[in-house]
Amino acid sequence: MKIHRWSFNFHVSFFTIVLTGMLILIYKPSAASSGIFYVAPEGDCGGQTPCFANPQQAVDAALSGDEIRVAAGIYTGVNNIGGKSQHLYINKDLLLRGGYSISDWNVPDPEINVTELQAQVQGRVVFITGDTTTVTIDGFHLTFGDASGLGGHPYGNDSGGNIFIDKASVNLFNCEITDGAVPSDGYGGGLYIKDGTLKIVNTLFDTNEAGHGGAAYISGSETDIDSCTFTNNRTTMMTGPGPAIKVDGGSFAMNKSVISGNVAVGKAPNSAALDINASPFQIDRSLVELTVSSPGIKLSGNGYIKNSEIHDNQYGGVSISDGVVTVIGNDIYNNGSYSPYAGAGLSIDGIWDLTANIIANHIHDNHHYYANSSGGGVYVDTAIDGLVSLIDNLIENNWVGASGHPGFGGGIIINGDSVILSRNRIQNNTAVGWIDPLGNYLGGQGGGISIKGDALLMNNIISNNHATFSGSGLSITGSAPELYHNTITFNSYADEGTGVYVAEASSSERAEPKLWNNIITNQLVGIYVKGDVTNNVVISDGILWYENNANTGGTGTFFLSHEYTGDPMYIDVAGNNFHIAFDSAAIDHGVLTNINSDIDKEPRFGIADLGADEYWAPGILKHLFLPLLTK
Give domain status of residue 387, yes or no: no
Burial grade of 596 (CB within 10 A; 0-12, 13-18, 19 or more): exposed
DSSP 586: T
Give domain status of residue 355, yes or no: no
Q: How high is the pLDDT of residue 170? A: 98
CA distance 410 to 449: 7
Residue 621, φ and ψ in degrees, nearest 5:
-65, -45
pLDDT digits (tens, 9 = 90+) for 325-346: 999 999 999 998 766 656 689 9
Closest CA to 522 of 562, 488, 563: 488
Give domain status of residue 549, yes or no: yes
Domain end: 265, 298, 333, which one? Answer: 265
CA distance 576 to 604: 23
Residue type, 55: P
Can you tell me whether residue 484 is helix, strand or coil? strand
Q: How high is the pLDDT of residue 22? A: 37
pLDDT at 8 exceeding the cut of 80: no
Which residues have CB under 8 Å from 140's CB, separation 6+? 70, 96, 98, 110, 115, 116, 117, 175, 176
Average of pLDDT values for 13-19?
A: 36
CA distance 508 to 557: 16
CA distances from 135 to 55, 92, 200, 225 (A): 14, 7, 12, 16
pLDDT at 404 exceeding the cut of 90: no
Residue type, 235: T
Q: How high is the pLDDT of residue 630? A: 45
CA distance 304 to 361: 13
| Residue 491 lies in domain | 369-377+403-631
- Residues 496, 629: one domain? yes
pLDDT digits (tens, 9 = 90+) for 54-102: 999 999 999 999 999 999 999 999 999 999 999 999 999 999 999 999 9
CA distance 174 to 526: 60
CA distance 575 to 342: 31
Percentage of the residues of the chain whose pLDDT score is greater than 70: 91
Closest CA to 313 of 332, 297, 289: 289
Give domain status of residue 20, yes or no: no
- Peptide bond preceding 50 in cis form (omega within 30 of 0): yes
Which residues have CB under 8 Å from 17's CB, separation 6+? none
Can you tell me whether residue 69 is helix, strand or coil? strand
Burial grade of 52 (CB within 10 A; 0-12, 13-18, 19 or more): buried
Give domain status of residue 388, yes or no: no
Burial grade of 23 (CB within 10 A; 0-12, 13-18, 19 or more): exposed
Average model confidence (pLDDT) across the chain: 91
Straight-line distance from the first to the last Cα atom of the chain, in angstroms, rounded to the nearest whole number? 80
DSSP-derived secondary structure for 88-156: EEE-S-EEEEEEEBTTBSSS--TTTS-EEEE-TTSSEEEEEE-TT-EEEEES-EEE--B-TT--BSTTS
Which residues have CB under 8 Å from 20's CB, separation 6+? none
553-560 own/partner pairs: CB under 8 Å, 24+ apart: 553/498, 553/525, 553/527, 553/528, 553/529, 554/502, 554/528, 554/529, 554/530, 555/529, 555/530, 555/531, 556/502, 556/529, 556/530, 556/531, 557/529, 557/531, 558/527, 558/529
Percentage of the residues of the chain whose pLDDT score is greater than 90: 84
- Residues 236, 373: one domain? no
Closest CA to 335 of 315, 350, 308: 315
Residue type, 316: G
Q: How high is the pLDDT of residue 31? A: 38
Give domain status of residue 13, yes or no: no
Torsion of CA 101, 104, 105, 106, to 10 degrees: -130
Contact 68, 98 (CB under 8 A): no
Give domain status of residue 432, yes or no: yes
pLDDT digits (tens, 9 = 90+) for 491-509: 998 778 999 999 999 999 9
Task: Return the HEC string of 491-538.
Answer: CCECCECEEEEEECCECCECCCCEEEEEEEECCCEEEEECCCCCCCEE
pLDDT at 516 exceeding the cut of 90: yes
pLDDT digits (tens, 9 = 90+) for 228-268: 999 999 999 988 899 999 999 999 999 999 999 999 987 66
Contact 241, 213 (CB under 8 A): yes
- Compare 458 and 619 and report the one with higher pLDDT: 458
Number of domains in the chain: 2
Average of pLDDT values for 369-382?
A: 86
Domain end: 231, 265, 299, which one? Answer: 265
- Residues 373, 233: one domain? no
Work out the pLDDT band at 626, boundaries 50, 70, 90. Answer: low
CA distance 411 to 75: 55
Give domain status of residue 158, yes or no: yes
Query: Strand ranges (DSSP E) for 393-524?
Result: 394-396, 399-400, 407-408, 412-415, 419-422, 425-427, 430-431, 433-435, 441-443, 449-452, 456-458, 461-463, 466-467, 474-477, 482-484, 487-489, 498-503, 514-521
Q: How high is the pLDDT of residue 151? A: 97
Burial grade of 67 (CB within 10 A; 0-12, 13-18, 19 or more): middle
Average of pLDDT values for 554-569?
A: 98
pLDDT digits (tens, 9 = 90+) for 184-195: 999 999 999 999
Domain end: 230, 265, 300, which one? Answer: 265
Q: How high is the pLDDT of residue 623? A: 61
CA distance 114 to 536: 72
pTM for the model: 0.92
Contact 546, 593 (CB under 8 A): no
CA distances from 3 to 6, 15, 395 (A): 9, 17, 93
CA distance 487 to 142: 58
Longest dimension (CA), the chain: 124
Contact 33, 63 (CB under 8 A): no
Q: 502 pairs with which residues across the strands?
A: 476, 529
- Residues 422, 541: one domain? yes
Burial grade of 83 (CB within 10 A; 0-12, 13-18, 19 or more): exposed
- Residues 238, 373: one domain? no
Average of pLDDT values for 347-362?
A: 91
